[in-house]
Structure 1
Amino acid sequence: MARVSFTAGRVSGFKCPAGKFQAFMWDAAAPGLGLRVRPDGRPAYVFQSLFQGKTIRVTIGSPDAWSIPQAREKARELQRQIDEGSDPREVRAQAVAAAVAKREDERRQHATARDAWSAYIADRAPHWGERHRLDHEEKGRPAGVIGARGRPLKPGPLAPLLALPLRDLDAATVEAWATREAKERPTAARLSLRLLKAFLTWCSESPELSGAVADTNPAKSRRAREALGRAGVKTDALQREQLPAWFAAVQALPSRTASAYLQTLLLTGARPGEVLALRWDDINAQWRGLTIRDKVEGERVIPLTPHVWRLLAAPPRRGAFVFAGERGDIMARPHRFHDAACKVAGLEGLTLHGLRRSFKSLSEWQDIPAGVVAQLMGHKPSATAEKHYTVRPLDLLRVHHERLEAWILEQAGLPVPSASEEPGVLRVVASCG
């Protein structure tokens, strides 16, 4: 190869001859240093030499970024690598990988827990129910969020922790947080701690975040659990003689949607979040079935009983959800409607989950098989025979479920809709006391 001493004029004036894919000019001062030019006119310094008997070529960079002395020094450095037995291409790849790893490590070290929390929700939300997703959004809500009524919403219990760098979430920090939250909202904080534990487990299993979290999950701290205490065993449930007052107060609510939601809770025995997540396409009017998105089995189908069918036909349609708010999304804070109704009925202290407990308790009056009640409510089978050998079709569940609904309505002094009638058509059944 003919070599010339590179000068600024020679470098800037070197062109690719017509008809060629590329052309090279080689430097006489630095062995292996060349200038490559393509037809588009873009030049680049290159280094070419022999490594293990094969010709290799490495691009150094554009003359706009590299002066001639800098390019010569880089060519000598690459030749030294070959003389030492290293492939300059591998050396460069390793340097690039190390730089990328360093940047990623710096990003992880400075990433806030909220950044990771947002990525966690985006990754896991497709596998969650709607209520579970909302729990994550509410418990992690930062300060300054404006609600639907134009008022700032209270930050979620996890907001102080999510504002910290992820690497600062250690056991001592979580324990101090638990001690503070236990004084104001222990119930919400207990749920938040469980959500935090699952989140940090996800971070530890994530290749991008594993280096930024502690080896031992800080949310598994025994002291944090003790600070928040155990949830007490709740016994709130409607008694038979309280049914008339409860139904009267609930049916008098100004919101038809809230009224229908609360009655559906009691008459199906489903979890509050399961009923709240009901969509219009979960209602099968032809076969009179109701698909419940179940946290245990994924989903279950229960009978669409006459009164519940009538209730579900009442709420106005504002989107995909049956019990929707003004904007078409899931109705917010339904417990406030229930609290208001219970205050009127003199039943303060009865929770939404207490209505699920009421369904189970009231079923005892009708001697309904425990396995039927468990299947309706979505409880796991409690015995081998129940789990593996008992298969109840929807029509068999319907026999028991409609009988229980009719009895509850009779005790409340309400008309009982006929199973054969369309929603809205009622027949009056005298109360049996």
Structure 2
Amino acid sequence: MTSKIKLTKTTVERLAPVEGKQLVFWDTDIVGFGVRVSPGGSRAFFYQGRLKGKLKKITIGKLGRITAEQARKDAKRIQSMMELGQDPSPKDATNKIEPTFGDLMSAYVELLEQQGKLSASNVKNQIARDIEKAFPKLWAAPVSKIQLEDCMQIVGKLKDEGKPRQADKIRSYIRTAFSEAINARGDVNMPASMRRLKITYNPARDMRKVKGSSNAKDRALSLAEFRAYWRRVKALPEPHRSLAMLHVLTGGQRQQQLARVTLADIDRDGPSMRILDYKGRRTEPRIHVIPLLPEALEAIDRITGGGQYVFSCDGGKTPIHNAFLNDIVKRIRAEMEKAEELENGPFTAGSIRATVETRLIAKPYRVSSDVLAHLLSHGMGTVQRKHYQHHAFADEKLESLEMLYRMVEGKSEPGAKVIEMRARA
């Protein structure tokens, strides 16, 4: 007896055995992928296809020893190998199918998910688009055969297409995936999918950073440009106006972090806003607290509604996407260029963050680098800051944001004020 269903954990576990009969169920998505249900109730996954014109069946494994998701991945790998004319059969009973480059990158995504990285889903989509779909032969190739030239082919394609930032992201994912797989050989905390790869060499180790991948962040607006930008922000319709204002009034925080902020993160008595900083290799987020000016609170009141998210354009039901602020900046930049208000060329939403730091550290504000590091949540990984410096700089951060507001409003600074570092708690 045969039938077609999508073979997932839930559907396979629900398959009931029939006394005296072996049942076969085929997957609706992967042609050739199936599961056999014996009269005794055991379920065995297999793949059946043609290799060089001959029908060939490969047993993948029994449910319990292998999950339905792992079986699907193995079925895809076997399918790819047979399409390339490669025999996926093990040479002997103890020799399993050699892991592929795709197995490595999938295990890397699983590691990010295990670590609770909110970027895991986005990384998975990028890897699927720029590696799996763009280079199916490399994806199905044995990971032990991957060389530097193969990695360069993937990254080079994106660079040649005029996507230096995306090219560098993929370079970083590949390089880190190999590095983590090497570390996994001695780390039982790693996912099993990563440990069983048994990788000892990182072919992407010598890949250099892609030039032009971070040029936009180096652009800081002049004081005149920054004030012109602020004037145009205040002239926007809602909710664009309040969202862009809040981005500036909180110091140009990272857009991905702002999108996670909910009303539960707003302390109106403080007043302050809590941001969970997942940047880097943190498994637990660092709590980053931003003081809120009265003008920032007013902006929050204008954009929030019945939903939970603060940075939202639909009353808090869903958070804004990075493209939302980027589109706002593009429109304002075009208006500034038309009005001849640009002095140093194009800029992006990320440039606002660089502008805040560049302008506040200069005269007449002279905010210290330590205060700016706490305000913008960066450079916090040194031994001194991690283990010995526990002062939160709350007052200093508030004073810096007050200076920022006076700056964009074009108000004079009351004297050449220097923010002194407070004694450490």
TM-score normalised by the chain length of structure 1: 0.57
CA-atom RMSD in angstroms? 3.9
Instruction: Specify the SS of the correspondent of 2:289.
Output: strand
1:160 aligns with 2:134: yes
Inter-partner Cα distance in structure 2 for 1:249 and 1:289: 26
1:236 aligns with 2:219: yes
Residue from 252, 264, 271 that aligns with 2:254? 271
Residue from 173, 176, 188 that aligns with 1:198? 176
Provide, for residues 33-68 of structure 1, a one-character-per-residue CA deviation record: whole Å limited to 9, x for no partner: xxxxxxxxx9xxxxxxxxxxxxxxxxxxx9xxxxxx
| Conserved? CA contact 1:306–1:402, under 8 Å | no
Q: Which amino acid aligns with 1:125?
A: E
Provide, for residues 242-262 of structure 1, a one-character-per-residue CA deviation record: whole Å limited to 9, x for no partner: 234212333344561x44343
Inter-partner Cα distance in structure 2 for 1:119 and 1:312: 40
Inter-partner Cα distance in structure 1 for 2:120 and 2:235: 31
> Mapping of 1:39-118 within 5 angstroms?
106-109=96-99, 113=102, 117-118=105-106
Displacement after TM superposition at 1:187 (Å): 1.6
Inter-partner Cα distance in structure 2 for 1:369 and 1:116: 44
| Conserved? CA contact 2:262–2:309, under 8 Å | yes
> Mapping of 1:163-178 within 5 angstroms?
164-165=139-140, 167-168=142-143, 169-178=146-155
Inter-partner Cα distance in structure 1 for 2:272 and 2:261: 12
Instruction: Specify the SS of the correspondent of 2:134.
Output: helix
Provide, for residues 148-202 of structure 1, a one-character-per-residue CA deviation record: whole Å limited to 9, x for no partner: xxxxxxxx46742477126254322112222222211122110111122223334
> Mapping of 1:19-418 within 5 angstroms?
106-109=96-99, 113=102, 117-125=105-113, 127-130=115-118, 132-133=119-120, 135-142=122-129, 156=130, 159-161=133-135, 164-165=139-140, 167-168=142-143, 169-184=146-161, 185-204=163-182, 205=184, 207-209=192-194, 212=197, 214-220=199-205, 222=206, 224-225=207-208, 228-229=210-211, 231=213, 234-254=217-237, 256=239, 258-269=240-251, 270-294=253-277, 295=279, 298-317=286-305, 319-324=307-312, 328-334=318-324, 335-346=326-337, 347=342, 349-363=346-360, 364=362, 365-380=364-379, 391-393=390-392, 395-411=394-410
CA spacing shift, 1:242–1:384, aligned 2, 3 Å: same
Between structure 1 and structure 2, the one with the greater Rg is 1
| Conserved? CA contact 1:171–1:218, under 8 Å | yes
Inter-partner Cα distance in structure 2 for 1:213 and 1:308: 52
Instruction: Specify the SS of the correspondent of 2:269.
Output: coil
Q: Which amino acid aligns with 2:233?
A: V
Q: Which amino acid aligns with 2:353?
A: R
CA spacing shift, 1:241–1:370, aligned 2, 3 Å: same
Displacement after TM superposition at 1:126 (Å): 5.3
Q: Which amino acid aligns with 1:288?
A: P
| Conserved? CA contact 2:156–2:167, under 8 Å | no
Q: Which amino acid aligns with 1:378?
A: S
CA spacing shift, 1:306–1:127, aligned 2, 3 Å: farther
Provide, for residues 103-152 of structure 1, a one-character-per-residue CA deviation record: whole Å limited to 9, x for no partner: 8964554x671x6545543442353553x33541442243xxxxxxxxxx
Match of 2:53 in 1: none
CA spacing shift, 1:103–1:356, aligned 2, 3 Å: farther
Inter-partner Cα distance in structure 2 for 1:325 and 1:108: 48
Higher percent of residues as helix: 1
Instruction: Specify the SS of the correspondent of 2:346.
Output: coil
Q: Which amino acid aligns with 2:159?
A: A
| Conserved? CA contact 2:178–2:201, under 8 Å | no
Q: Which amino acid aligns with 1:310?
A: E
Q: Which amino acid aligns with 1:274?
A: Q
Inter-partner Cα distance in structure 2 for 1:384 and 1:237: 29
CA spacing shift, 1:380–1:232, aligned 2, 3 Å: closer
Provide, for residues 13-38 of structure 1, a one-character-per-residue CA deviation record: whole Å limited to 9, x for no partner: xxxxxxxxxxxxxxxxxxxxxxxxxx
| Conserved? CA contact 1:167–1:214, under 8 Å | no
Inter-partner Cα distance in structure 2 for 1:260 and 1:103: 65
Relative to structure 2, which stretch is displaced further, 283-292 or 295-304?
295-304
Instruction: Specify the SS of the correspondent of 2:290.
Output: strand
Instruction: Specify the SS of the correspondent of 1:328.
Output: coil
Instruction: Specify the SS of the correspondent of 2:323.
Output: coil
CA spacing shift, 1:323–1:100, aligned 2, 3 Å: farther
CA spacing shift, 1:140–1:321, aligned 2, 3 Å: farther
CA spacing shift, 1:406–1:241, aligned 2, 3 Å: same
Provide, for residues 374-413 of structure 1, a one-character-per-residue CA deviation record: whole Å limited to 9, x for no partner: 2111123599887776654565235413421331342289
Instruction: Specify the SS of the correspondent of 1:286.
Output: coil
CA spacing shift, 1:322–1:216, aligned 2, 3 Å: same
Instruction: Specify the SS of the correspondent of 1:308.
Output: helix
Provide, for residues 227-274 of structure 1, a one-character-per-residue CA deviation record: whole Å limited to 9, x for no partner: x34646553122222234212333344561x44343333333322322
Inter-partner Cα distance in structure 2 for 1:379 and 1:123: 24
Aligned sequence identity (%): 16
CA spacing shift, 1:322–1:101, aligned 2, 3 Å: farther
Q: Which amino acid aligns with 1:171?
A: L
Relative to structure 2, which stretch is displaced further, 364-373 or 314-323?
314-323
Q: Which amino acid aligns with 2:270?
A: W
CA spacing shift, 1:192–1:158, aligned 2, 3 Å: farther
Instruction: Specify the SS of the correspondent of 1:408.
Output: helix
TM-score normalised by the chain length of structure 2: 0.58
Aligned residues: 298
CA spacing shift, 1:140–1:382, aligned 2, 3 Å: closer
CA spacing shift, 1:399–1:268, aligned 2, 3 Å: closer
Gaps of 5+ in 2: 1-19, 21-38, 40-64, 66-88, 185-190, 413-425
| Conserved? CA contact 1:167–1:212, under 8 Å | no
